[in-house]
């Protein structure tokens, strides 16, 4: 039944009244259902993505911030672009600066050395006035969105025909036309034809095959193979303005609003300064005077007299009673910030830093402008790669064809363009760079010395590299060798079928008795092994293979000087040697792991710079074995676990003669070590650069080995040849 509100004659139908209690109960039940879930399920009826505030209209259709809608710019007429470039200096500067920066630093043809060919290319580019033509083409591409450079090429065909690549005789000139003069042949954009053997570029699917050029001097059609195409970016196929579709957007469309804001901000500055001081004139009974018939005219005349006197005499005459003239100045706080903000925004949209665009110095604490310049040069490099590199490479190839036809060059070189750096270093930066190069050269030299000591490279290789290039790269020096040469000259590959014969030969002796294991030693070879002069020589790479180094034999005078030095040392140190070394003797240790022998470079004593192993003199109270363990620990930081005594020798001519020719010979004991703790490491005082070397390598280093170490290897060889150790262990068993 309808209900009636008391005190009113209004009647409401009950079914139209909202029952809020049911709504609250339903919402409570929904929340109760969702309780207990880590992620509560959404209720699409009550969950929305937007926020709406009905009191402030936020998020509604009446919200002013929701009314911002992007709209594309109206089409700009080419006449307007040209007029803006001619009449606005700031806009012309924005167009010109990147184009000039991209060209003025020049380029190099990579791999082309100084000489006849380089001079030919330089002269041709100068005759074609390449720099001016390229700058103009880039400027028009930035202003209008694109441009073309028409090359007048003599190949026996017309401008509207495809370039005959094989019959290019000369290139006479390059003429530049902006996009406003060029109409592409849109009907041929998606036309595909098989490559013409005499063609220049092959298929150009997606690009017009010809252009119609309409200048004020006439109209002509030109084939795209005779054109250098400059496009200011790229646009989607469904671009709003089809006129820019295959070219690019003119810079004006993106920046003209920002340019206007900058000009307005700079233009308003002087006007605001002019109005920053306001003159105030006070007079008695001004309102009463204004109410009279001639009052307004009298007041204006009075003001004119005051301004005239102030302008001419720089003085003001006032009535002492009732008149006053004063000035009030206004402060425009934040105006400079507004102007600077507009300049920053223009710099951002043009990619040109303010230091270049406005010629102002970097401002602020620690401001250098280096970051802005780096971004600007990166932008210019993108212009070079996108619009210049491909066109320049194409032009140089045409010039090379013409030069081959005229006989100015003998062969057509490969053309690969590389632009010169955009950044010009200061003297201080150049000095710092030279210092870094010197430090790098020193590091390379130290690295080369290490590799030479390791026998990874030969000193002659370093000398040859320095002589040819003036520098060397240690990591890539071996790239000059072919795989066959490396295999052929690898000592480890020699005598692989007979390891025992390889070990015997490289350690200085022949094969065991019988020629093979158990055979007789070859006749004519000393028992101690091959003489140093008979050792294999290190190879030097040449064009014809690996050539042996020239052996430098000491002269008779040098031998005599060395002998006198030894005798003098012997006489002076005879007492000390007899008291210490001769009495106790010395030890040597041959450390073997995985078939290789531990070696290092000696830094002290008579054998400085030579290759040796652990060893030294026996100290007071030591046994030979204890001395061998101590020397191994001191020099290589490893602890021998098991030493096998190879034997001892009497040094006759090999050691120091004590007390003359009839002195008692020195005794040296040699041990073999195949098990140890730790990893070899030299302290850099006695020994340096620990290296594991196989017998083949050591055989090639006969003249660089320390004599006691070499004698120890020879003693080990003799034991191996007989197949017997003093402790009845064979070589095979220990190795």
Which positions ≥6 away from 98 have C-beta within 8 Å?
138, 142, 351, 352, 379, 380, 383
In the predicted model, is pLDDT for residue 352 greater than 80? yes
pLDDT, averaged across the chain: 74
The rounded distance, in Å, linking the Cα atoms of 400 and 409 is 8
DSSP letters of 274-286?
A: HTSEEEEEEETTH
Whole-number pLDDT of residue 469: 58
| pLDDT above 90 (res 519) | no
d(CA 431, CA 442): 17
Helix (H/G/I), strand (E/B), else coil: 275: coil
Q: What is the pLDDT of residue 70?
A: 66
CATH of the domain at 604: 3.90.79.10
Q: Could you count the other beta carbons within 10 Å of the beta carbon of residue 388?
A: 21
Q: Higher pLDDT residue, 576 or 600?
A: 600
| 534, 585: one domain | no
Q: CB of 98 within 8 A of CB of 347? A: no
Q: What are phi and psi of 599, to 5 degrees?
A: -135, 165
- How long a stretch of residues is the chain? 735
Looking at per-residue pLDDT, the higher value among 197 and 691 belongs to 691
Number of domains in the chain: 3
Residues 584 and 520 in one domain: no
Residues 6+ apart with CB under 8 A from 416: 109, 110, 111, 393
Instruction: State mean pLDDT over 548-562.
Output: 47
Tokens 């207990």 locate to 36
Judged against a pLDDT cut of 50, whether residue 496 lies above it is answered with: no
Highest mean pLDDT among 12-21, 190-199, 274-283, 453-462: 274-283
In whole angstroms, give the CA distance from residue 442 to residue 501.
42
Q: Report if residue 370 sits inside a domain.
A: no
Task: Quote the pLDDT of residue 223.
Answer: 94
Please write the tens of the pLDDT for every residue from 587-621.
999 999 988 999 998 887 777 888 999 998 888 88
For residue 134, the model assigns a pLDDT of 96
**Do 615 and 717 share a domain, yes or no?**
yes
Query: What pLDDT band is residue 286 in, cutting at 50, 70 and 90?
Result: confident
442 domain residue, yes or no:
yes
- pLDDT at residue 687, as a whole number: 85
- Give pLDDT, residue 371: 75
Cα–Cα distance, 48 to 42 (Å, whole number): 10
Task: Give residue 366's pLDDT.
Answer: 42
Most confident of 44-53, 231-240, 464-473, 512-521: 231-240
Same domain membership, residue 603 and residue 479: no
Do 469 and 540 have their domain in common?
yes
Q: Tell me: do 512 and 598 sit in the same domain.
A: no
Please list, residue by residue across 338-347, b when 16 or more beta carbons sit within 10 angstroms of its beta carbon and e when fewer do.
ebeebbeebb
Question: Residue 275: what pLDDT?
Answer: 72
Q: Report the C-alpha gap between 163 and 225 in whole angstroms.
A: 6
CA gap 157, 346 in Å, rounded: 48
Cβ neighbours of 281 (radius 10 Å) = 16
Q: Of 513, 548, 583, at which residue does a domain stop?
A: 548
Residues 445 and 534 in one domain: yes
Q: Hunting for tokens 């703790």 — which residue is that? A: 677
Tell me, yes or no, whether 694 lies in a domain. Answer: yes
Q: Does residue 67 carry a pLDDT above 80? A: no
In 3D space, the residue among 176, 171, 239, 165 whose CA is nearest the CA of residue 202 turns out to be 165
The residue to which tokens 């951002």 are assigned: 348
Write the DSSP symbol of residue 638.
Answer: -
**Same domain as 526, residue 457:** yes
Q: pLDDT band for position 517 (50/70/90)?
A: very low
Whether 408 is covered by a domain: the verdict is: no
Encode pLDDT of 174-189 as tens digits: 999 999 999 999 888 8
Whether the full predicted model's pTM is greater than 0.85, yes or no, is: no
For 527, the domain range is 432-548
Window from 78-92, 336-350, 451-465, 653-667 with minimum mean pLDDT: 653-667
From CA 417, how far away is CA 125, in angstroms rounded?
14
* Same-domain check for residues 528 and 586: no
Higher-confidence residue: 140 or 305? Answer: 140
Do 446 and 595 lie in one domain? The reply is no
Are 500 and 440 members of one domain? yes
Q: Provide the phi-psi class of 340: left if phi over 0, else alpha when psi is between -120 and 50, else beta.
A: alpha
Strands 666-677 and 227-231: unpaired
Of 513, 532, 548, the one marking the end of a domain is 548
> What would the pLDDT profile of 97-117 be if each residue is shown by its tens digit?
999 999 999 999 987 766 889
Does residue 480 sit within a domain?
A: yes
% pLDDT > 90, the chain? 27
- What pLDDT, on a 0 to 100 scale, did the predictor assign at position 528? 37
Residue of higher predicted confidence among 667 and 89: 89
Instruction: Say yes or no to pLDDT of 167 above 50.
Output: yes
Task: With a cut of 70, say whether residue 641 has pLDDT above it.
Answer: yes
Name the range with the highest mean pLDDT among 110-119, 173-182, 286-295, 678-687: 173-182
Which of 455, 469, 479 lies closest to 541 in space, CA to CA?
479
DSSP for residue 384: I
The pLDDT value recorded for residue 381 is 94
Q: Which of 141, 352, 142 is nearest to 229 (CA)?
A: 141
Q: pLDDT band for position 298 (50/70/90)?
A: confident
Output 384 or 333, whichever has higher pLDDT. 384
Residue that wins the pLDDT comparison between 462 and 589:
589
Residue 571 confidence (pLDDT) above 50:
no
- DSSP assignment of 424-492 equals PPPHHHHHHHHHHHHHHHHHHHHHHHHHHHTTSS-HHHHHHHHHHHS---GGGGGGGS-HHHHHHT-GG
What share of the chain has pLDDT > 70, as a percent?
67
Structure tokens at 320: 């002492």
Residue 670 covered by a domain: yes
In a shared domain, residues 595 and 689: yes
Does 374 score more than 50 pLDDT? yes
């Amino acid at each position: 039944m309808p209900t009636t509100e008391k005190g009113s004659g209004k009647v409401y139908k009950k079914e139209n009244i909202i029952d809020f209690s049911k709504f609250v109960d339903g919402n409570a039940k929904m929340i109760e259902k969702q309780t207990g879930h880590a992620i509560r399920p959404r209720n699409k009826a009550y969950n929305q993505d937007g926020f709406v505030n009905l009191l402030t209209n936020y998020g509604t259709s009446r919200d002013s911030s929701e009314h911002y809608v992007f709209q594309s710019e109206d089409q700009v007429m080419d006449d307007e672009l040209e007029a803006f470039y001619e009449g606005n200096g700031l806009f012309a500067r924005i167009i010109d600066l990147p184009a000039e920066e991209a060209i003025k630093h020049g380029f190099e043809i990579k791999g082309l050395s100084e000489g006849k060919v380089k001079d030919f290319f330089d002269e041709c580019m100068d005759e074609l006035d390449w720099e001016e033509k390229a700058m103009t083409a880039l400027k028009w591409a930035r202003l209008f969105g694109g441009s073309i450079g028409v090359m007048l090429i003599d190949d026996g065909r017309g401008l509207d025909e495809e370039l005959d690549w094989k019959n290019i005789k000369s290139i006479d000139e390059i003429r530049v036309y902006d996009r406003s003069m060029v109409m592409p042949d849109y009907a041929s954009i998606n036309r595909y034809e098989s490559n013409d053997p005499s063609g220049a570029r092959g298929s150009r699917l997606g690009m017009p095959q010809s252009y119609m050029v309409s200048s004020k001097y006439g109209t002509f059609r030109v084939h795209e193979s005779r054109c250098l195409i400059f496009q200011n970016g790229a646009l989607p196929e469904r671009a709003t303005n089809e006129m820019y579709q295959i070219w690019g957007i003119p810079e004006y469309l993106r920046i003209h609003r920002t340019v206007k804001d900058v000009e307005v901000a700079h233009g308003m500055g002087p006007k605001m300064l002019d109005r920053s001081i306001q003159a105030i004139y006070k007079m008695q009974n001004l309102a009463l005077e204004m109410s009279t018939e001639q009052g307004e005219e009298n007041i204006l005349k009075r003001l004119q007299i005051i301004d005239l006197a102030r302008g001419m005499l720089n003085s003001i005459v006032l009535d002492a009673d009732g008149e006053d003239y004063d000035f009030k100045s206004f402060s425009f706080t934040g105006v400079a910030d507004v102007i600077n903000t507009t300049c920053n925004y223009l710099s951002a949209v043009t990619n040109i830093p303010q230091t270049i665009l406005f010629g102002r110095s970097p401002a602020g604490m620690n401001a250098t402008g280096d970051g802005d310049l780096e971004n600007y040069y990166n932008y210019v490099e993108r212009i070079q790669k996108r619009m210049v590199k491909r066109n320049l490479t194409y032009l140089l190839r045409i010039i090379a064809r013409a030069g081959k036809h005229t006989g100015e060059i003998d062969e057509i070189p490969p053309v690969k363009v590389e632009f010169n750096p955009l950044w010009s270093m200061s003297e201080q930066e150049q000095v710092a760079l030279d210092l870094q190069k010197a430090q790098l050269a020193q590091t390379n030299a130290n690295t080369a010395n290490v590799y030479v000591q390791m026998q990874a490279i030969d000193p002659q290789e370093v000398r040859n590299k320095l002589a040819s290039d003036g520098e060397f790269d240690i990591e890539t020096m071996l790239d000059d060798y072919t795989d066959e040469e490396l295999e052929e000259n690898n000592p480890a590959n020699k005598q692989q079928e007979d390891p025992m014969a390889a070990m015997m030969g490289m350690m200085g002796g022949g094969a065991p008795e019988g020629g093979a294991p158990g055979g007789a030693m070859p006749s004519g070879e000393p028992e101690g092994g091959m003489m140093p002069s008979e050792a294999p020589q290190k190879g030097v790479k040449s064009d014809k293979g690996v050539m042996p180094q020239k052996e430098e034999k000491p002269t008779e005078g040098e031998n005599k000087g060395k002998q006198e030095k030894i005798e003098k040392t012997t006489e002076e140190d005879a007492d000390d040697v007899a008291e210490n070394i001769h009495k106790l003797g010395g030890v040597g240790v041959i450390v073997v792991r995985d078939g290789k022998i531990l070696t290092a470079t000696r830094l002290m004593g008579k054998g400085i710079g030579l290759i040796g192993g652990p060893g030294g003199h026996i100290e007071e109270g030591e046994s030979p074995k204890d001395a061998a363990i101590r020397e191994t620990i001191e020099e290589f930081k490893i602890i021998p676990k098991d030493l096998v005594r190879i034997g001892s020798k009497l040094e006759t001519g090999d050691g120091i003669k004590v007390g003359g020719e009839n002195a008692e010979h020195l005794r040296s004991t040699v041990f073999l070590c195949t098990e140890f703790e730790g990893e070899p490491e030299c302290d850099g005082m006695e020994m340096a650069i620990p290296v594991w070397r196989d017998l083949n390598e050591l055989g090639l280093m006969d003249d660089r080995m320390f004599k006691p170490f070499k004698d120890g290897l020879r003693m080990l060889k003799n034991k191996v040849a007989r197949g017997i150790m003093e402790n009845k262990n064979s070589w095979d068993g220990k190795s």
